[in-house]
Amino acid sequence: MMSSIIKLLPQNVANQIAAGEVVQRPSSVVKELLENSIDAKANNIRLIIKDSGKTLIQVVDDGIGMSNKDIKLCFLRHATSKIKQSKDLFDLKFMGFRGEALSSIASVSQMTIISNNDDQTEIGNKIKINAGQLVLEEEQALKKGTSISVENLFFNIPARRNFLKSDSVELRHIIDEFHRISLINHNINFILINNGNEIFNLKKSIFKERIIRIFGKSSLEKLVPIDEVTDFVNINGFIYKPDFARKTKTAQFFFVNNRFIKNHHLNHAVKSAYEGLIDDKYFPSYFLNFEVPNNTIDVNIHPNKTEIRFDNAQSIYAVLKSSVKHSLGQFNISPTIDFENGIKYHTPYDYKNKTPDFPKISVDRLYNPFEIEKMIDIKIDDLDTGDSVSKINFPDKSISFPSFQIDGKYVISKNSSGLVIINQQRAHQRILYEKFLKEFCGESKLSQALIFPIKLDLSKKEINVVLGFKTNLIAIGFEFSKFTKSEIELSAFNPIFNKESIEEFFREIIMDHENDINKVSASFDDYMARVFSKSHSSKSKKSLILQEQHSLINDLFACNEPSVSPFNQKIFKVIPLKSIENKILK
Residues near Mg ion, by CB under 5 A: 36, 96, 101
Residues 6+ apart with CB under 8 A from 267: 252, 254
Torsion angle defined by CA atoms of residues 228, 233, 236 and 242, in that order, rounded to the nearest 10 degrees: -70
- In the complex, least distance from residue 327 CB atom to ligand ADP, rounded to whole angstroms: 36
When the beta carbons of 65 and 242 are compared against ligand ADP, the nearer one is 65
Residue 155 CB neighbours (<10 A) = 15
Nearest Cα neighbor of 40 from 71, 14, 11 is 71
Q: Which entry of Mg ion, ligand ADP, none binds 63, CB below 5 to 8 A by partner kind?
A: ligand ADP
Backbone angles phi and psi of 140, in degrees to 5: -155, 145
Question: Closer CB to ligand ADP, residue 68 or residue 569?
Answer: 68
Among 340, 401, 395, residue whose Cα is nearest residue 524: 340
Q: How many CA atoms lie within 13 A of 72 on its CB side?
A: 9
Among 44, 81, 306, 312, binds ligand ADP (CB under 6 A): 81
Taking the least distance from each CB to Mg ion, the nearer of 80 and 334 is 80
Residue 81 touches which of Mg ion, ligand ADP, none (Cβ within 5-8 Å per kind): ligand ADP
- Give the residue with the Cβ less far from ligand ADP, 41 or 397: 41
The CA distances from residue 221 to 47, 211, 277, in Å, are 30, 12, 17
* Nearest approach, Cβ of residue 107 and ligand ADP (Å): 11
Q: Is 28 in the site for ligand ADP (CB under 6 A)?
A: no
Q: Which window, 80-88, 329-337, 338-346, 358-366, contacts ligand ADP (CB under 6 A)?
A: 80-88
The answer to the question of residue 526 lying near ligand ADP (CB under 6 A) is: no
φ/ψ of residue 369, rounded to 5: -80, 0
CB of 376 within 8 A of CB of 346? no
Residues 6+ apart with CB under 8 A from 435: 496
CB of 101 to ligand ADP, least distance (A): 3
Residue 191 CB, nearest approach to Mg ion (Å): 20
Q: Which is nearer to ligand ADP, 23 or 40 (CB)?
A: 40
Q: Which residue type does 224 have? A: V
**Which range of residues in 79-87, 163-171, 287-295, 414-422 is near ligand ADP by CB under 6 A?**
79-87
Q: Does 68 bind ligand ADP (CB under 6 A)?
A: no
Three-class DSSP category at 481 = strand
Contact 226, 237 (CB under 8 A): yes
Q: How far apart are CA 478 and CA 23, in angstroms?
A: 65
Member of 14, 44, 55, 82 binding ligand ADP (CB under 6 A): 82
> What Å distances lie between residue 179 and 23, 32, 38, CA to CA?
19, 14, 14
Query: Rule CB under 6 A: is residue 146 a binding residue for ligand ADP?
Result: yes
As measured in angstroms, the least distance from the Cβ of 96 to Mg ion is: 3
Residue closer to ligand ADP by CB (options 46, 210) is 46
32 binds ligand ADP, rule: CB under 6 A:
yes
d(CA 334, CA 356): 17
Q: Is the Cβ of residue 82 or residue 391 nearer to ligand ADP in the bound state?
A: 82
Cβ of residue 136: shortest distance to ligand ADP, in angstroms?
18
Phi (first) and psi of residue 452, to 5 degrees: -110, 115
The option from Mg ion, ligand ADP, none interacting with 74 (CB < 5 to 8 A, set by class) reads ligand ADP
Choose between 35 and 434: whose C-beta lies nearer to Mg ion: 35
Contact 321, 273 (CB under 8 A): yes
327 binds, among ligand ADP, Mg ion, none (CB under 5 to 8 A by kind): none
Query: Rounded CA gap, 551 and 540, in Å?
Result: 18
> Which among 558, 545, 544, 548 is positioned nearest to 395, based on CA atoms?
558
From the list 19, 23, 29, 40, which residue makes contact with ligand ADP (rule: CB under 6 A)?
40
Q: For binding to ligand ADP (CB under 6 A), which residues are involved?
A: 32, 36-37, 39-40, 61, 63-66, 74, 79-82, 96-102, 146
